[in-house]
Chains A and B, each alone.
Chain A
């Protein structure tokens, strides 16, 4: 049974990231069940296992909240590429979407300090923009709670 669940979990992860990288969208458990041809309850159990393994972060209802660097829900870090728009969980992750998909990107955000609109562009493997990035949580504390 463990082998079967391992295989399902790998398939789920593949489809989650495939959807994210191609469309910028994290699939629902229903999307995954249809795509994989398995029961939705099996998918939901798989998502729970992937959440427990810190591969994903789940919403309270068991749907995917984050598959790093992508977010299901709107965030202040909008990533626009030629093919899709997506939400990053933070500026690190917003740039991570450009890095993971090897795409140029325009990141639309705002200064967390003063609220001024801010734009960061990734073009040809280089980053352009103004400002500094502030990390609020020490890495040790972040590592103990995040699913990076």
Chain B
């Protein structure tokens, strides 16, 4: 993976502030959406 894509993944994954009480982990559907937006759709990135 390129540095640029990894950076976009890091931004998508970690930009949320995890301090607030409302923060929760992503569901599998939400994780798949993040991966899909970045073009990570190969078998390697499948979660189920």
**Chain A interface (Cβ < 8 Å from any Cβ of B):** 10, 13-14, 17-18, 21, 54-55, 67-69, 91-93, 95-100, 102, 120, 122, 126-127, 129-135, 138-140, 143, 148
Contact = CB atoms under 8 A, between A and B. Distances in A.
Interface of B: 1-7, 9-11, 13-21, 23, 25, 28, 31, 35, 40, 43-48
6 contacts: A17-B19, A21-B19, A67-B18, A100-B14, A126-B7, A139-B46
Contacts, number: 88
Given A139-B31, A139-B47, 15 more contacts: A10-B21, A13-B19, A14-B19, A17-B19, A69-B10, A92-B9, A93-B10, A96-B10, A96-B13, A100-B16, A129-B3, A132-B3, A135-B44, A138-B43, A143-B47
Contact of A95 (B6, B25, B28, B31): B6
B10 A98 contact: yes
A141 to B, nearest CB: 10
A91 B6 contact: yes
Contacts of A127: 3-4, 6-7
